[in-house]
Amino acid sequence: MKVKREYIILAVIIAALVGYLVFKHTDRIHYVLPDIEKLDVKRISKVEITRGNVKTVLIRKGDSWHITPQDWRVDPQKIADMLSAIGDLHLTDLVSETKAYGRYQLDAKNRLMVKAYSGPALKREFDVGKAAPTNQHTYIRLPGNDKIYLAGGDLRRSFDIPISELRDMLVFSLTPSQITEIRLDRSGQALTLSRQEASTVKASKPQGKGSPLEVIWKNEKGEQQDKNKIDSLLAELSKIYCEGYLDDTMKASLTKPAMILKLKGPREYSLFIYDKYVEKIPALSSMNESPFVLPGYKFETLQKSMADIMGKPVKDSK
């Protein structure tokens, strides 16, 4: 009888624990999370990010995005991350109904207010607080709703970006195989190179059917140049990322380039590189309105490549 009574007591305890867990779980999920519809981000034409009194406005222009009113290009990957976060916004949990906004950096001082428009129509709006401890979720608020929710992803990382870091650092790019003419100017020396193919020059060997055309480069005198050196230069010019941008007002003071590279292809390209100023190498590009800082390693590589093609610079007769 004693053993039987102990079994009964144990069964009662287990039943009580199961009941507690069931009711506790039921109590946790009695709320319903707001259903947020997925957006087609291709229709988003403007994004506003406001923190305190500072507002950043991004506008879509064709296939690229620009910071207004400066009209600076936005880094493609960073705007893509923003649009993904806006279009795929989804809630995972209710965190608080107590309006403890400061604890989650959703107070007026620290929150990021994000708005996305399609034309004049506001399509999405939410406030971004701090990231959760796992950095896999972010505390957010929805318009007209006092509750604090968890949303998937580290939204703070996607939206809390200074304008200086939001700008596109790609300042010069081209496709080497499309370039047909190169003009180099350095230290009083100038050299123009023209691309020719087997269809316009005598090939050293007969071209078989389907064989690639032979590419050669000649200078103004018709002398053939070292193709490998020119290919090396074009490879260096295919993509150039700057270290940062200089004040736009500095552009007017950049008048005497130390190195000039002009190229022709589907369009005309130009790159002007100036003498070092306050330990920085200023440069201008036909693909960017703002003066920028050319990385030191890129300057040295271009300088060496130009020297390999042009030879030693002519000394000033003075």
Confidence of residue 1 (pLDDT cuts 50, 70, 90): low
Model confidence, pTM = 0.78
Residue 317 pLDDT class (50, 70, 90 cuts): very low
Is residue 131 pLDDT above 50, yes or no?
yes
Task: Report pLDDT for 3.
Answer: 55
20-63: pLDDT as tens digits: 554 544 444 567 899 899 999 999 999 999 999 999 999 999 99
- Across residues 94-98, what is the average pLDDT? 93
Kindly tell me if the per-residue pLDDT of 204 is higher than 80.
no
- Give the position of tokens 């880094």: 75
Give yes or no for residue 195 having a pLDDT over 50.
yes
Q: Is the pLDDT of residue 140 over 50?
A: yes
In this model, does residue 289 exceed pLDDT 60?
yes
Asked if residue 318 has pLDDT above 50, the reply is no
Average pLDDT score over residue span 123-145: 95
d(CA 317, CA 265): 35
* Structure confidence at residue 19 (pLDDT): 56
- Mean pLDDT for all residues in the chain: 88
Q: How far apart are CA 139 and CA 106, in angstroms?
A: 8
Domain ranges of the chain: 41-166, 170-204+211-310
Contacts 24+ apart (CB under 8 A), 48-51: 48/113, 48/114, 48/115, 48/116, 48/117, 49/112, 49/113, 49/114, 49/159, 50/112, 50/113, 50/115, 51/110, 51/111, 51/112, 51/113, 51/160
Question: In this structure, which topology does domain 170-204+211-310 adopt according to CATH?
Answer: Immunoglobulin-like (2.60.40)
- Mean pLDDT within 69-94: 96
Q: State mean pLDDT over 89-99.
A: 94
